[in-house]
Amino acid sequence: MDFTGNIAWITGAGTGIGKAVAEGFVAAGARVVLSSRDGRRLDSVAQELGSDVALVLPCDVTMAEEVAAAHQSIRNRVGEVDVLVNSAGATVFRSFLDSDIEDFDRLVATNLRGPFLCTKAVLPSMLERGKGSIVMISSIAAMELFTDSSVYSATKAGLKLLADCLRLEVRKSGVRVINVFPGATNTPIWPERVREKHGSKMMSSSDVASAILHACSAPEGVLYEQIMLQPTGGAL
């Protein structure tokens, strides 16, 4: 895979799948823009990845003003975005009754509003140029039922349909919209006790990142619409 000359904007790039995706694009020659709310963590990631990190942009994707400012900085300092990976995400492991309004609002803002805002920012230029890839990192929880995940699952199912409808709208434009549904992946989104018990059974962030890069590097006439990944042994 060769992404030389491409600009890839990765949200949630400080940890987990987002960081692994950033590593993959850097290795493939892309100029990578890193975003997350934690600027200090982003700086650490940028030091690890080296000079191919084009820009470090702390950004809260739930805030329209911050997303707009981040996108304008990318255009002014790097160029137009060729690949957007919406990786920023949040969850709570609580039953419906134990989930409060603050949980609901936070997860909707991060998992649904954030990708909406970032996609709105990059899409006009992609449509004008007739190319680009938008990756929505959803979850297997959008497709299968799990306890203590009602709010999280609702946001990820909403993200799936947001992407599906957008894909229908832009299908003939040359812009790719790709849904990714990872199963259990060993990232900090899981409580430490779960990672200690089940980490060896989970996929790695790099496993998911490899699938994303493969989809984004597909031949011009090919679109991977939905990518579903599960650990070899199945769900936890």
Q: What is the pLDDT along the chain (236 residues), one digit of tens a residue?
A: 899 999 999 999 999 999 999 999 999 999 999 999 998 999 999 999 987 788 999 999 999 999 999 999 999 999 999 999 999 998 888 999 999 999 999 999 999 999 999 999 999 999 999 999 999 999 998 998 888 889 999 999 999 999 999 999 999 999 999 999 998 888 877 677 877 877 787 889 999 999 999 999 999 889 999 999 999 877 76
DSSP string covering 172-203, please? GGTEEEEEEEE-SB-STTS-HHHHHHHGGGSB
Alpha-carbon distance 185 to 15, whole Å?
Answer: 12
CA dihedral 42, 73, 160, 136 (to 10 degrees): -50
**What is the model's pLDDT at position 202?**
81
Count the neighbouring beta carbons within 10 Å of the beta carbon of residue 53: 21
CA dihedral 136, 59, 43, 10 (to 10 degrees): 20
**What is the model's pLDDT at position 121?**
98
Alpha-carbon distance 128 to 108, whole Å?
Answer: 30
Q: Any idea what DSSP says for residue 112?
A: I
Q: For residues 33 and 55, is the Cβ–Cβ distance under 8 A?
A: yes
Q: Collapsing DSSP states into helix, strand and coil, what is residue 27?
A: helix
> In the structure encoding, which two tokens stand for residue 171, read together?
């299908």
* Residues assigned a catalytic role: 152
Alpha-carbon distance 110 to 128, whole Å?
Answer: 28
Alpha-carbon distance 40 to 15, whole Å?
Answer: 12
- To which residue do tokens 């203590």 refer? 148
Alpha-carbon distance 23 to 19, whole Å?
Answer: 6
List the alpha helices (DSSP H) in 50-191.
64-77, 101-108, 114-129, 150-170
Sheet holding 83-86, edge to edge: 53-58, 31-36, 7-10, 83-86, 132-137, 175-182, 226-229
Alpha-carbon distance 174 to 170, whole Å?
Answer: 7
Alpha-carbon distance 26 to 206, whole Å?
Answer: 13
> In the structure encoding, which two tokens stand for residue 148, read together?
């203590």
- Domain 7-229 top-level CATH class: alpha beta
